[in-house]
Amino acid sequence: MTTNERRQEYRTLFKQNVKNRLLVDKAVRIIVFACVIIAIIPLGSILVEVFKNGISAISYEFLTATPGSIGSGKGGIGPAIQGTLIIIGLSSLIGVPIGVMSGIYLSEYGDNKLARFIRFFNDVFMEFPSIVLGIFAFLVIVLILGHFSVWAGAFALSLIMFPIVARTTEESLKMVPITYREAGIALGLKKWVITFRIVISAAKSGMITGILLSVSRIGGETAPLIMTILGSSQFFSSMDVPMDALPLRIWRLSLLPYDSAQLQGWGSALVLIIIILGINLGVRYYFANKTGNGIMGRLIKQGVSNKK
């Protein structure tokens, strides 16, 4: 990158005013360190506030009861917790098989133009505004059925989920040595048997990581749920009526001007953050210990940073 003349130039430059240069260097070091601190302060503040304010809202009634009348401060978030678990389950039911098969395609048949095209758009699709995916689910499911539906929410969230699963599956399958596949071929096995019985069982942990990280991502999604499951204060009764979810409940509570609503909001936030950070940290801790700082460790970190 550097030509000989420029190198000469730098060499003479570096001999001069050493003192100032060291000073600048030190200043930059401090600034750079300050950047890290500035980024960590909000994280600390969020965690502290959520725990501090949320813990006093938590009680058995709060976790299991239906919400009381607005502003009364009574009742709880039972339907919201139940709804979040249901919606996570249903979206995984749709998103995981598609994501895994798509990952298999990218990894096992992925050496052609179409696959490179798909890989690229998969990455772009991952960054689509989630609210637009919500509108899409609204248009193709809610508008056609004529009522809000749990399936619409699950469909919207599965659209967020499957590209993440596809990419992590692809990366983990690619790390399985080619010799494993060759051993399968030598045994005369069919390709799909090789893929499901040998390759996937070797890449299992990476795939599970990807799936759980995508679960922790969709668990906190709010925007696509607004126009698909709407929110409700009743426990789940059927797929065809509105349902509640934790992020939706937090949003609704934050719009209310009462102190008691704020307190309940913090309580819900605490429950949500425990679920999500629990999955996230658990997965990272478990697999980081197992795989160290290798490619897998990097992948895990990327998996999170790529998807908020």
Q: Which of residues 41-80 bind another protein (CB under 8 A)?
A: 42-43, 45-46, 49-50
Among 4, 69, 289, 293, binds another protein (CB under 8 A): 293
Cβ atoms of residues 79 and 234 within 8 Å: yes
To another protein, the closest distance from the beta carbon of 70 in angstroms equals: 17
Cβ closer to another protein: 29 or 204?
Answer: 29
Q: Which of residues 159-178 bind another protein (CB under 8 A)?
A: 159, 162-163, 166
Among 221, 229, 244, 296, binds another protein (CB under 8 A): 221
Cβ closer to another protein: 55 or 143?
Answer: 143
Among 17, 35, 187, 201, binds another protein (CB under 8 A): 35
Quick one: CA dihedral 301, 304, 306, 308, positive or negative? negative
Q: Is 290 in the site for another protein (CB under 8 A)?
A: no
Q: Is 139 in the site for another protein (CB under 8 A)?
A: yes
Scan for tokens 């426990």, then name that residue.
235
Q: Is 183 in the site for another protein (CB under 8 A)?
A: no
Q: Is 136 in the site for another protein (CB under 8 A)?
A: yes
User: Which residue type occupies 122?
Assistant: N
Among 121, 235, 258, 294, binds another protein (CB under 8 A): 121
Q: Is 130 in the site for another protein (CB under 8 A)?
A: yes
Q: Is 40 in the site for another protein (CB under 8 A)?
A: yes
Among 232, 265, 287, 296, binds another protein (CB under 8 A): 265
Q: Is 98 in the site for another protein (CB under 8 A)?
A: yes
Q: How far apart are CA 140 and CA 156, in angstroms?
A: 10
To another protein, the closest distance from the beta carbon of 283 in angstroms equals: 10
- How many angstroms from the chain centroid is the CA of residue 157? 11
Size of the site for another protein (CB under 8 A): 99
Cβ closer to another protein: 31 or 60?
Answer: 31
Cβ closer to another protein: 90 or 133?
Answer: 133
Q: Is 157 in the site for another protein (CB under 8 A)?
A: no
